[in-house]
Amino acid sequence: MRLSVDHRTIYRFTEPQSRLVQMLRMTPQNTHDQTVAQWRIDIDCDARLRQGRDGFGNAITMLYIDGPIDGIEIDVTGEVLTSHSDGVVHGAYEVLPPALFLRPTETTAQDKAIADFAARVTTPAQGRIGALHRVNEALHERFTANPGRPEPNLGAAAAFRLDSATSRDFAQMFIVAARSLGAPARYVSGYLLTEREDDHRPTPHGWAEAHVDGLGWIGFDPFTGDCPEEHHVRVAVALDAAGAAPVAGSRLGEGGERLEVDVVVSRDGQ
């Protein structure tokens, strides 16, 4: 499948800023299951860009802007060819051992309620892969999917007490559940094609991957209840959503900021 991505991020500042330094995790990488046909990042002002990788092996673009600056627009556009893989990740660039992804973070801390839920919906007879699929389905069944903007810094434990969940919340709850079953798990940021025409979203999509011996990393998307397939474009991985955030950085200046994000994913030819 050939997917087109249009991801626009706009920052507006109440006071001019002297300097901006941003890390952009907005560039997908080639794997055996996705090929980047074209991709570009455009900035609406004079900026210095430097390509590199972060500690998780994600492709990053460092963005440096000298002020005064009262706003910035980042436009990401591209096309990616995706293929069916049964959710298994083939040929991804890996720099860290799977066991590292058993490590909890502030937003994916161990939680008794989530661990009890994972234990209740699974059985030993299912095996590791069967149990992970069941947790994925059970989370999808339990919560109403919320396509809106996630609440900043909301952890998995707090999200589990709600009735609806964003894709970020679903993924982080799955990560906690998977780790409670002994499976290394990590957060994935990327894009999702939906069947709705002109579907605009306020954030990129998020899902999870869990490691199973003998199979490797396998994607799970409790927001949809399925494994990621041709409708997903994989961009960055980390221990949690914050570590895979599309934009992170700092600014030098007073005042506040306002953020606008618009993401559109479409199938080529539609």
Which pLDDT score, from 0 to 100, does residue 227 have? Answer: 95
Same-domain pairing of 75 and 89:
no
Domain containing 31: what range? Answer: 2-80+247-267
Same domain? For 118 and 217 the reply is yes
Same-domain check for residues 159 and 257: no
Residues 47 and 160 in one domain: no
Same domain, 74 and 98: no
Structure tokens at 137: 């389905």
Same-domain check for residues 98 and 216: yes
Residue 188 tokens read as 């994935």
Are 107 and 227 in a shared domain? yes
The one-letter code for the residue type at 126 is: Q
Note whether 184 and 199 are within 8 A (CB): no
Q: Is the dihedral of CA 223, 229, 235, 237 positive or negative?
A: positive
List the pLDDT tens digit at each of the 270 positions of the chain: 999 999 999 999 999 999 999 999 999 999 999 999 999 999 999 999 999 999 999 999 999 999 899 999 999 999 999 999 999 999 999 999 999 999 999 999 999 999 999 999 999 999 999 999 999 999 999 999 999 999 999 999 999 999 999 999 999 999 999 999 999 999 999 999 987 665 778 899 999 999 999 999 999 999 999 999 999 999 999 999 999 999 998 999 999 999 999 999 998 755
Say if residue 76 is in the same domain as residue 88.
no
3-state secondary structure of 136: helix
Domain CATH for 25: 2.60.40.2250
114 and 187 assigned to the same domain: yes
- As for how many domains the chain has, the answer is 2
Q: Are residues 132 and 18 in the same domain?
A: no
49 and 166 fall within a common domain? no
27 and 68: one domain? Answer: yes
Whole-model pTM: value is: 0.95
Which pLDDT score is estimated for 268? 77
| Nearest alpha carbon to residue 191 among 163, 223, 143 | 223
CA dist., res. 122 & res. 137, Å (int):
11
User: What is residue 198's predicted lDDT score, i.e. its pLDDT?
Assistant: 59
The CATH number of whichever domain residue 101 belongs to comes to 3.10.620.30
